[in-house]
Each structure stands twice: as C-alpha cells, then as structure tokens.
A and B are shown apart, each in its own frame.
Chain A
C-alpha cells in the first residue's frame, strides 16, 4: 500500500502530464528505422551469403581506384589526369565553383575546394561503375562481392565476379530508385543551393514529400546532432559509392558533407595515395552515439578508398572498394 505521500505524488504526476496530445510520426519512424536496419546489415551482412546482397545495397564505404586495363573501359583514377598531375587544390578553382552555390558558414574548406576541382573534370568514359567491395568484420573472414551501378540508375549485384554477367544479361536490377535519388541530390549539390540539396539527400529514401519537421531542421543544420545530419551523411555515403565513377556526384557529396558540423577532416595517405579521412562522430548517428564512421577518400580525386566503422578507438568493420568505369555491354559479355 502506498503512503499518502506516494499517492499524492502519483496524482501530481498525472496532473502534470494531463491533456497533452501526441501522435507519433510513423512515416519518420519507418524512414529512420529502415535506414538503421540497413546499417545493421552493412555491419553484420558481409558474412553470410544470404544477406550480402542486401548489404550491397547500402554499401558504405570505401573504394580504391585500381586500373583494370580492360578494353572499352575507363578506369576511375585515369579519368582525372589533371588532378593526378597537380596533386594540389588551387584555391582559385574552389572559389569559382563555390560562388555558384550557397555554402553554410561552417563548411569544411578542404572538401569545398576538392569538390570544385573534381566538378571541373570531364565525365569519364563508360556507362556504368563497377565496384569491387571487400568487407572485413573484426574477428571474421573477409568477403568480396561485386556491385555494378549503371548511369541510368540500375544496380546489379553478384557474390562472384564470374556471376555478374548473368545478372546483367537477365536484367536483374536490384535498384529501387533510392540510388538514383541520392545521386540526383548529390549532383544538384554541385551548383545548387546546399540547404535544398541537403533536404533532397536527407529524404531520398522516401518517395513522399519531405515533412515539415525535416524542412525545419535544414535551417538549423549547423547546430549539429539533428536527424537531418544523420540522413544527409548516410545518403551521401551511398551516393559517394554509387556515383564513385562520376566526378559530379563525388563533388556534390563532398559539398554536402562539408556542411555537416559533426564531420571532421584529416589528411593522410593510404597505400601511397594522398588521402582525406572524413570522420562522422556519434552526433551524426542519432541514438547510436558511440558509433562512428570514417570514410577515406583520395585527396585528389575524391574517390572513396575505405570506410572504418566502430566505436572510437575500435574498428569493427572495414570496407574497401576498387572502382572501375565500364561499359555495360562489356560486363554482359564477360569482358572485364
């Protein structure tokens, strides 16, 4: 039996919370939960054939540009000879490109400058991007799979290189429009208004119009720790991989990431390549505050090299990519 004090406290509590209506935003809940599930699959899904295909859809990570030498293809690094030769990022180039788009006050200048440099480059040959993706989970075996992203928005997946032609021949498109929307948002970000681009990227997972609450968050994105930060980060990760063979997409992603206050940028090298590592702190991951991701890109081309995911000081997942520009017909014919 509760004491009078306890009874009174219970009544007072009920009074305090009376008559305050609340209706959960189911659309936003599903949106966020599905993204979280996707991330779970990335972390766990590299091992186990049954889920690799799903993991591939959300590849977060890392691409390494390696020449294929195949006829009819244009290797990604080779598509940026000017950048390779210079190895620097002229400020004048960055200024000229950034002048056509609004940038938030807190943007990361190295990313903005690199984006400007990349955006000025010609589109590489080929009509698809082949990504050889290798996932390593702590204490488990490494898994390598193949993702093929066509420029018209289709996505093909195979657990083996030799199995990819059959997927293309059968037109087993596993894309559902998400990648196309994310790539479109990134492309828009190259010269468009960054707030608008952020909204497009944040809501790319949905086909419904963005709700008012996320529109409101765009205005406060510099505050950090918002859901939109997480959405933009995750969408940008997807787009960076899907569009890794397209300099416009990479440039747009870098501009978008540059406006996220929870992302830090550090310089380094990976396998002899100059690299930038973009680390998204827990603030970008909503409730998963102890989780963080670090994407490393080539400092000259913006091509993603690798992603490390885990808690600070501990890497649980590493994904690496090898990016190659290809022709779809060559893949179908097994010429790659």
Chain B
C-alpha cells in the first residue's frame, strides 16, 4: 500500500509538472532537455520530500531545485544546451501572431541572455512571480532581481514589436 507521504508527493508532482516543464523549456530551449530537467527536479523533490513539505513556499522551493538543475547542466556543458541559431529552435506552435512577436526570434534572444537574467525574466513573466518571490528562488536581493530584469528587458525589447494598446 502506498504511504501517505508518497501519495502526497504524487499529487504534488502531478500538479506542478506542467508548470515546471514550461519553465524548463524557456530556460533551455529544448523540449527533450526540459523533460530531463523536470524529471531530475522531481527526483530531487522526491528525495527531499519531507523538507519540501516543510517549506513555507513549496512552489518556490521546487522552482529553486529546477534552477539548480538547469545551472548544473549549464556549467557541465559550458553553454547553451541548444544552438542559438533560430533555424534550429523548436517553437511549440506556429507563429500566428507575427504582427506582434516573432517567437523564434524571441526564444533565440532569450537563450542568448546570461543564465541568471534568463531565469529571472522567466520566473517574473512566465510564472508571474513578484520581485520578492523571484529573489527568494534566485537567492539574491530584490535589487538584483530589478537589475537583472532591466538588463534582460533591454535585450529582449527588440523582439517585441509594440502595437498600440487601447486606452
């Protein structure tokens, strides 16, 4: 019979896997590698489940694990896990909104950001985390989050073709 902690873990993993997968993809730009990063993240979560359960913010804790896994991969392989050549980038869906954003260009630009800047903007704008939450996950000050975000936005802005927003 499955123990209660294991059942709780399974429910947790099932509810967070998709979100982790999306975040992992924007960090690495490769769905297959994202699979591996999330798998490893969930392994570490399983391994330290009691600690995760005691965390004030379980979501932030597990995101931190994912960031660590991504950083390990980054250090081990010394650069982008996939080519920054946008001809080779996987884009999940056809570009149906080219009038606003070219997705391949955006992903290419995102992947050429320093790893820390990339993680910061992904947490802020994909996950919708506040600066405080992002700082907790990144283990840095809110000021650092602000500065990393500003630099990343400056680099990515060229990919975002602004259209007039209704008043």
Instruction: Kindly state the separation between the CA atoms of A13 and B26 in the bound complex, as whole angstroms.
Output: 8
Say yes or no: is A81 at the interface (Cβ < 8 Å to chain B): no
Contact, CB under 8 Å: A19 / B93? yes
A16 x B162 contact (CB < 8 A):
no
Q: Mark A15-47, 1 if CB is under 8 A from B, else 0.
A: 111111011111011101100110010000000
The digit string for B63-84, where 1 denotes a CB below 8 A from any CB of A, is 0000011001001100000000
Q: How far does the alpha carbon of A33 sit from the alpha carbon of B160 in the complex, in Å?
A: 42
Q: Are A24 and B107 in contact (CB under 8 A)?
A: no
Query: Are B25 and A20 in contact (CB-based, < 8 A)?
Result: yes
Known contacts A13-B26, A286-B43; 17 additional CB pairs below 8 A are A4-B165, A9-B160, A12-B100, A12-B101, A13-B122, A15-B103, A18-B93, A19-B93, A24-B17, A24-B42, A28-B39, A29-B46, A33-B47, A36-B44, A283-B76, A287-B40, A287-B43
Complex partner residue of B39 from A6, A13, A24, CB under 8 angstroms: A24
Considering the complex, give the chain B residue whose CB is closest to the CB of A12: B101
Q: With A8-B101, A286-B40 known to touch, is A22 a contact of B126 (CB < 8 Å)?
A: no
* B103 with A5: CB separation less than 8 A: no
B153–A9 touching, CB < 8 Å: yes
- Inter-subunit contact A25/B39 (CB<8 Å): yes
A-B contact pairs, 27 of them (CB 8 A): A5-B157, A5-B160, A5-B162, A9-B156, A9-B160, A12-B159, A12-B160, A13-B122, A15-B97, A16-B92, A16-B107, A17-B21, A17-B25, A17-B126, A18-B92, A20-B22, A20-B92, A22-B34, A24-B38, A25-B39, A29-B39, A33-B47, A225-B76, A287-B40, A287-B44, A287-B72, A289-B76
**For chain B residues 85-109, which have a beta carbon within 8 Å of chain A?**
91-93, 97, 100-101, 103, 106-107
Q: Which of A253-310 contact B (CB under 8 A)?
A: 283, 286-287, 289
Chain A positions within 8 Å of B, measured between CB atoms, are 4-6, 8-10, 12-20, 22-26, 28-30, 32-33, 36-37, 40, 225, 283, 286-287, 289
Range of interface residues on chain B? 35 or more
What 1/0 mask marks residues of chain B from 147 to 163 whose CB sits below 8 Å from any chain A CB?
A: 00000010011011010
B160 touches A8 (CB 8 A): yes
Specify the chain A residue showing the minimal Cβ separation from B125: A10
Chain A CB within 8 A of B128 CB: yes
Check if B145 is an interface residue, CB within 8 A of chain A: no
* A residues less than 8 Å from B26 (CB atoms): 13, 16-17
- Given known contacts A4-B162, A29-B46, A15 and B101 CB-to-CB distance under 8 angstroms: yes
| Bound complex: CA A30 to CA B2 (Å) | 12
Expressed in whole angstroms, the minimum distance between the Cβ of A211 and any Cβ of chain B is: 12
Chain B 36-57 interface residues, beta-carbon cutoff 8 Å to A: 38-40, 42-44, 46-47
Q: Which residues of A contact B13 (CB under 8 A)?
A: 24, 26, 29
User: Would B35 and A22 count as touching, CB distance under 8 A?
Assistant: yes
Complex interface: chain A residues within 8 A of B128 (CB): 10
- State whether B43 touches A33 (Cβ < 8 A): yes
Instruction: State A25–B97 Cα separation when bound (angstroms).
Output: 34
Let me know if B140 is at the binding interface, CB within 8 A: no
Q: Closest CB-CB distance, B30 to chain A, in whole Å? A: 12
- Within the complex, the shortest CB–CB distance from A139 to chain B, in Å, comes to 23
CB distance from A289 to the nearest CB of B (A): 6
Q: Are B10 and A26 in contact (CB under 8 A)?
A: yes
Q: Judge whether B31 is part of the interface by a CB distance below 8 angstroms.
A: yes
A121, B161: Cα distance in complex, Å = 74
Q: Which partner residue on chain A sits nearest B163 by CB separation?
A: A8
CA distance A78 to B162 in the complex (A): 81
Contact across chains for A17 and B125 when beta carbons are under 8 A apart: no
The answer to whether B60 has its CB under 8 Å from any CB of chain A is no
Contacts of B93 in A (CB 8 A): 15, 18-19
9 tightest Cβ-Cβ pairs between the two chains A and B:
A33-B46, A17-B22, A22-B21, A10-B125, A13-B126, A12-B101, A33-B47, A24-B17, A32-B43
| Minimum Cβ distance to chain A for residue B75 (Å) | 8
Contacting A17 at CB < 8 Å: which of B43, B92, B100?
B92
Residues of A within 8 A of B100 (CB): 8, 12
Docked-complex contact A5 and B72, CB < 8 angstroms: no
User: Which of A4, A16, A20, A286: most chain B Cβ within 10 A?
Assistant: A16
List residues 112-158 of chain B with CB under 8 A from any CB of chain A.
Answer: 121-122, 124-126, 128, 153, 156-157
In this complex, what residue of A is CB-closest to B102? A12
Residue of A nearest to B75 (CB): A289
Q: Which of B17, B34, B38, B42 has the most CB atoms of chain A within a 10 A radius of its CB?
A: B42
User: Can you name the residue of chain A whose Cβ is closest to the Cβ of B122?
Assistant: A13
